[in-house]
Chain A
Amino acid sequence: MEKINQLLEEFRNIAENPSKQLEKFLKQGKKVIACAPVYTPEEIIHSMGLIPMGVWGADMEIKEAKSYFPAFICSIAQSILEQGQKGYFDGISAIVIPSLCDSLKCLGENWKYAVPNIPFIPMTYPQNRKNEVGIEFTKASYKRVIKDLERITGQKFSEESLAKSNKIYNEHNEVMRQISDVLVDYPFITASQRNDIFKSAYLMEKENHTSLVKSLIEELKKMPKEENKKIKVITSGILADSKNLLEIFEENNLQIVGDDIAHESRQYRVDIKNDGNALDGLALKFSEMDNCSVLFDVDKKRADYIVNMAKVKNAAGVLMIMTKFCDPEEFDYAIIKKACEEAKIPCIPIEVDRQMVNYEQAKTIVQTFVENI
């Protein structure tokens, strides 16, 4: 148990101190590349000997970004810019911003002027990503990222090195899927601790994160499974890392037994097939990704995916963590809500915002959900 607590403490320390991590990498003489949501080809960055570091904004008051963004842009995009303007990312070599939603397109454009000391590298993904022309376009966009990274950092790209990184990332995917499943049997681990495990993945070299998670899995498996008295839920949305919100889950005895959060499990669903050219493999991976609000989904499979997850995991309900002003999620919500209704699974929207200080509404929603079970 002591070992488990130590590991959980380590995840928390890292998750809560991105600046410390950045400082550590810079001190080691490493070059760091910021990776904005929702999907960045981290494998490429990693393979070039650079440190990819996820930036998803922070819970903070938006001040300076207001001169770039109107108020109705989500607080994730706003706070990433705000952090950039305030110097949180100083020392970082570049930022890669994929343009998978309208607000992210704007983040890239604003970045060039608001944070001129950190170069912006655009990553343009195709939405028709499954056919040949789509895969080719993904590859062309990757090549453009590689060119920019080479120019800015002086590091070189090689296929062999990417093949190695692809393997490291696949292994990481695997342990992340595993930990999500394993945690179901250990309800003493809180929602907040679960989030630390996922969040720290963005702030470490993946191989190191993999071994930490592996140790945790090993230690947990040594323990007897405890009787589970918690209320099992599924979470869905872009981001659910607010400590205040996660505490409310705790107070109400909720256990997250699976998630469809972009910042969490959506990252780890698809592996790279390592049988051919490494860059092709990476482009193919993107073509196989699905069930996400920022990826064209003509059949709205995501709704069924969530319903199915809730059934398989025996969840009492689906908590839709809605980032305010996130229109991709807002559109999907209407369809997911309907699918859940048909399957008789409670689907509870909880609006969150990185600027939020008052969680009373969220609290009431969660309490009502629990009372109605």
Chain B
Amino acid sequence: MSEEVKKSKHELDPNSAKAKLNKIIVDHYAGVQAAKDRGEKIGWCASNFPQEIFQTLGIKVCYPENQAAAIAARGAGQRMCEIAESDGYSNDICAYARISLAYMKVKDAPEQNMPQPDFLLCCNNICNCMIKWYENIAKELNIPLILIDIPFNPDYEVSDAQVAYVKGQFLAAIKQLEEITGKKWSDEKFKEVMAISNRTSRAWLEATSYTKYQPSPLNGFDLLNHMAVAVCARGTIEAAEAFETLTREYKKAVEEGTSTFRAEEKYRIMFEGIACWPHLRTTATGLKSRGINMVATIYADAFGFIYNDFDGLIKAYCNVPNAMNLEHARDVRKAIVKKTNAEGLLVHTNRSCKLWSGFMYEMSRQIGEDCNVPVISFDGDQADPRNFSEAQYDTRVQGLMEIMETNKGGK
């Protein structure tokens, strides 16, 4: 689950949100590398691992999912996947995992390098595939792995039993990390980190909410890029400020009637799933050329962790998109479709992600019926370029557009 930030081709205003967001990513990788060079222990971390833990401890980590997305977006998905496959990994395995396992082995990918880990932080609230992937790295590199297990919740609400279980692991993880790194936990600092995280999340949610305007001041694909910051820097003031800047820019754009969607916004859709990073341009162009703007994505909400206290924090991590049952996940999406006035739903059936795609047919059917919007899906993959057909994508998007067009005529 993640994204990349493109290198700016031309000079950006350093006070612009985009420049700030780009800088956070660059600084993030540099920061982890610097810590490693200083001899500190650094980790590889799952995108949805409670970052409050290591932020509080002052420990630096980097994110294999972000890295895999960046590598795939920069054209090396297949090369890396094939390295993993030559080690016996099936090409049916999530491509992020394959890229990451390949990177662990070759330790170099000019598309996006990062330091090697001294420990691993895994959280399976997005998938159990994550557990297997991190187990293998831990074994191959012979380094400790801390797992916070957040089981898929078959019920609508998070149970007390689940909160107690996750809380227990949270505390155990702190202890383990203290032992590994020699750093000390501080409740004061924890409060501070929670406050910043909430501020960042609120700013992120607010910025992403601007797609509700018609026309939207942003091309929804922008969010897929900015998400990397929501993943890796949620607990930092810089991220909060960058998203606040982004919000101001969107506000201004609404007032001035401008948009980063460089076409006339004729149709508004929700895009379901992770981007096809290797084919980002093709997928974006297929929409833009038809005047289709993506104004809704579950990602916007996925990284907005708002909570008031420790229990709230635990629950927030139990309620990430891939940990919720069908009804809950459906209702969250329905609210997004309604809020943004999306007129159609384009579903990426992502070969990498069994959990995300495994009950999406039924869920998207229900969303389509309940919100009265057409649903069309296409086959793709977030990082393995081989699992996408441009022709199929184009036909499907055209089909979706035609139904939306008919619906408009009828309205």
Residues of A within 8 A of B (CB): 67-70, 72-73, 99-103, 105-110, 112-114, 122, 124-128, 131-134, 136-137, 140-141, 293-294, 296-300, 322, 324-325, 327-328, 330-335, 337-338, 349
Contact = CB atoms under 8 A, between A and B. Distances in A.
Nearest to B132: A331
Given A296-B147, A298-B145, A101 B128 contact: yes
A107 B93 CA distance: 19
5 contacts: A73-B358, A109-B358, A128-B169, A134-B149, A140-B161
A130 to B, nearest CB: 11
Given A68-B362, A133-B164, A298-B135, A334 B149 contact: no
Contact of A137 (B154, B164, B357): B164
Nearest to A143: B161
A298 B135 CA distance: 5
Interface stretch (B14-22, B83-91, B108-116): B83-91
A124 B138 CA distance: 25
* Nearest 10 Cβ contacts at the A-B interface: A106-B358, A133-B168, A122-B154, A140-B161, A331-B132, A137-B165, A127-B149, A102-B355, A109-B359, A334-B88
Interface string B107-143: 0000000000000000010011101110110111000
Given A70-B357, A102-B128, A330 B89 contact: yes
B398 interface: no
Contacts of B129: 102, 327, 331
A341 to B, nearest CB: 10
A181 B152 CA distance: 38
B236 interface: no
Contact of A136 (B97, B164, B354): B164
B92 A327 contact: yes
Interface string B220-257: 00000000000000000000000000000000000000
B169 A296 contact: no
B349 interface: yes
A124 B124 contact: no
A327 B87 CA distance: 15
B361 interface: yes
A126 B149 contact: yes
B151 A334 contact: no
B351 interface: yes
A110 B329 CA distance: 13
Given A124-B151, A334-B88, A72 B351 contact: yes
A132 B172 CA distance: 11
A355 to B, nearest CB: 15
A70 B352 CA distance: 12
Given A100-B128, A137-B164, A300-B135, A73 B151 contact: no
A365 to B, nearest CB: 15
Interface in B268-305: none
A103 B154 CA distance: 14
Given A105-B358, A128-B147, 4 more contacts: A70-B379, A103-B354, A114-B362, A137-B161
Given A126-B165, A334-B88, A73 B133 contact: no
Nearest to A132: B168
Interface in B342-371: 349, 351, 354-355, 357-363
A106 B329 CA distance: 13
B156 to A, nearest CB: 12
A99 B152 contact: yes
B159 interface: yes
Contact of B168 (A101, A131, A293): A131
B358 A103 contact: yes
A72 to B, nearest CB: 5
A332 B349 CA distance: 25
Contact of A110 (B154, B167, B351, B362): B362
Contacts of A299: 139
B122 to A, nearest CB: 9
B359 to A, nearest CB: 4
Given A126-B149, A131-B168, A327-B129, A102 B326 contact: no
A112 B155 CA distance: 12
Nearest to B124: A127
Nearest to B152: A105
Given A131-B168, A331-B93, A110 B359 contact: yes
B89 A334 contact: yes
A313 to B, nearest CB: 23
A173 B202 CA distance: 54
A127 B129 CA distance: 13
Interface in B193-227: none
Contacts of A132: 168
A258 to B, nearest CB: 22
B162 interface: yes
Contacts of A137: 161-162, 164-165
B357 A125 contact: no
Contacts of B360: 70
A299 B360 CA distance: 34
Contacts of A298: 135, 138, 145, 147
Given A106-B358, A128-B147, A140-B161, A296 B131 contact: yes
A327 B135 contact: no
Given A69-B358, A99-B154, A337-B88, A297 B135 contact: yes
A91 to B, nearest CB: 24
Contact of A109 (B132, B140, B162, B362): B362
Contacts of B149: 126-128, 134, 296
A331 B358 contact: no
